[in-house]
Amino acid sequence: MDTLLSAIDILARWEVLAALIIGSVGGVIVGAIPGVGPPVAIAIALPATFAFDPIVGLTALLGIYGSSMYGGAIPAILINTPGTPVNALTTYNGYPMTQRGQAARALGLAYGASFIAGAFSVICLILLAPVLAVVAPMFGSREIFLAAALGIVLVILAHRGQMIAAGMMAFFGIFLATVGMEPIRYTRRFAFDQSWLAQGIDLIAVVLGLFAISQALVLLIEPNKRPKAARVAGSFWSGMRELGSHKRVAGVSSATGTTMGILPGVGEFTAQFFSYTYAMKTSKTPEEFGKGSPEGLIASESANNAVPAAAMIPLLALGIPGEALTAMMLSVFYVHNVVPGPGLFQNSMDFVVALYLALLLLNVAVLAFLLVSTNVILRIIEIPTRFLGAAVLVLSFVGAYSMRNSLLDVAVAAGFGVIGFILRRLDLPIVPIILGMVLGGIMENRLRTAMMRVDGPLDFINRPIAAILFALILLVIALGLRSAWQDWRRRAE
C-alpha cells in the first residue's frame, strides 16, 4: 500500500501529467499518420526528454509508444492503410467493415479492444510486480548475459522469411557497439585513428538515422500522395458494447500480447499471429475472417495493444530491451545514471508502479481523446506525404545536433539514414541493428563479469535460471530451424 501511495505521489506532478497527455495525444496523431509511426516520433523526441526527470521523459515516450497503435487503427480501418506496421492485420477486417458502411462500428471495436488489452496488461503487470521483485534479484551477470543472448536469437528467428537478413543486421549492430574505446583495457577498436570513432558510435544518432531520416528519405523520394478519408458518421459506443459478445477472443488476445511482450525480441507481430490464428480457429464464422470479422479485428488490436506495457518488463527488471522502442527508452535511464535491472525492483518499486499507473492512465486518456476527436485526426491523415517527409527531415536535426552541438553527429545520423533508406527500399529489417547494438554491449559487459566467477564453461549454467535460459536458447534455435525448413519445403511444393 505504501508503494502504491508513493507511486501516486510520483505521478501527481503537473510535469508528469503534462508529459502523459502530450505523449498520448501526440502518439495517437503520429500513429494515425501513415509513414511516421512511433519509432520516428520516439527517435525525434528522445533527446528532448533528456532534460527532464526520468519519470517525466519516460512517461512522454511511453505515451507515444502506448497510444500510437490506437491511432494506427484509424487509417487501417478507414483507408486500408495501416498507420503503423503493426496495424496491418487490422486492415483485413476493419476496411471491409468500412466498405459496408460500418466504419463507426469497426472503430468502436478497435478502440474498445485496444483499451481492454492495454488495461489488462497493465493490471497483470501490477499484480506481477511483487513476484518480479523476488525473481529479478536471482538474475546475476550470467543470467542477464543469457537473457540478452536469447533476445538476439529471438529477434533473428521472429523475422520469419527474413532470418538471414535479420542475422546480418543483428551482428552489424553488435559490431557497431564494439567501435571506439573498450572500457577495460582502454584500447581502441575499429577507430582507424579517428578521434570521432574512438568515442564510439552514438545510439541516438543511429536510431535517428535508421528510423527518422530514412523514413523522411522514403517519403521525399516516392511520389506525393494525399490520402483521403471520409468523415465517420455514427457512434462508437455500439462497437464498444459489441465487445461484450467477444470476451473470450479479447481476453485470450490480451493475454497472448502480454506474454509475447515480456519475451525479448518477439513483440507485436508474433502476438498478433497467434491471437488471430486462435480467433479464426475457434470462431463459429471463420469464413468471415478477412471480410469484416469483428473477432479478427478484436484479435489483432488486442494483441498489439497489450505489448507496450509488457515490453517494459525485461527493460525494467533486467535492463534488457525487448524491441527497438524500449531500446531507445533505455538511453533515458543511462542519461540520468539510473540503471534498470534487478536493483530497480528492489529499491525503487514505487517508480516501477508509477510507470505502470501512467500506462493505465494513458489508456483512459487516449480512449477519451479518440471518442471526441477521431474526425479531427482524419484531417491530419490528409497531409501530403512529401510535406511530411520534409517535416520529418527537419525534426530529425534537433535530436542529432542537440546531443553535443556537433555537425559530426548530424553527419553520422545522415549516414545511417542512407543505410536505413536502402534497407527500407529492400524491405529488410532495421530493428535487429538497434537490438544488436544495445544487447551486444550488455552481453560483452556481462560475460566479462560472469566469467570471473566461474571455473569452467559448464559452471556458467549451473544455476537454475541460467540453465533454463540456456535450454530455452537451444530450444528456440531448434524450433526456428525446424520452422524455416518447413517453410522452405512448403514453398518448394
Under the rule (CB under 8 A), what is the footprint of other proteins? 47-48, 51, 164-165, 167-168, 170-172, 174-175, 177-178, 182, 184-185, 187-192, 213, 216-217, 220-221, 224, 384, 386-387, 389-391, 393-398, 400-402, 405, 407, 410-411, 414, 417-418, 421-422, 425-428, 436, 440, 443-444, 447-448, 451, 488, 491-492
Q: Please say which residue, 86 or 153, places its beta carbon nearer to other proteins.
A: 153
Least distance from C-beta 169 to other proteins, angstroms? 9
- Using CA atoms, how far apart are residues 441 and 446, in angstroms rounded to an integer? 9
Burial class (CB in 10 A: 0-12, 13-18, 19+), 228: exposed
Taking the complex as a whole, how short is the minimal distance between the CB of residue 370 and other proteins, in angstroms?
Answer: 23
**Minimum distance, C-beta of residue 40 to other proteins, in the bound complex (Å):** 15
d(CA 257, CA 118): 10
Q: Which is nearer to other proteins, 166 or 318 (CB)?
A: 166
Nearer of residues 173 and 239 to other proteins, judged by Cβ: 173
- Whether the CA torsion 140, 144, 145, 147 is positive or negative: it is positive
Separation between Cα atoms, residue 27 and residue 433, nearest integer Å: 24
Nearer to other proteins, 255 or 447 (CB): 447
Tell me the closest approach of the beta carbon of residue 107 to other proteins, in angstroms.
Answer: 27
Rounded to whole angstroms, the Cα distance separating 170 from 428 reads 12
Cell of 156: 533473428
Question: Would you state the cell numbers that stand for residue 212, as one nine-digit string?
Answer: 527518422
CB of 222 to other proteins, least distance (A): 9
- Nearest residue to 43 (alpha-carbon basis) of 74, 68, 18, 75: 68
* Minimum CB–partner distance for residue 167 and other proteins (Å): 4
Whether residue 348 contacts residue 333, with contact meaning beta carbons closer than 8 Å, is answered with: no
CA distance 70 to 352: 24
Select 308 or 389, whichever has its Cβ closest to other proteins.
389
Nearer to other proteins, 6 or 178 (CB): 178
The alpha-helical segments, DSSP class H, found in 179-236 are: 195-198, 203-207, 214-221
* Of residues 13 and 189, the one with the C-beta less far from other proteins: 189
Residue with cell 570513432: 197
Nearer to other proteins, 97 or 388 (CB): 388
At 13 the three-state DSSP class reads coil
Contact of 446 with 144, CB cutoff 8 Å? yes
Contacts (Cβ under 8 Å, ≥6 apart) of 121: 254, 257, 258, 261, 305, 306, 307, 308, 309, 310
Tell the smallest beta-carbon distance from residue 272 to other proteins (Å). 25
* Torsional sign, CA 354, 360, 364, 365: positive
Q: At its nearest, how many Å lie between other proteins and the CB of residue 427?
A: 7
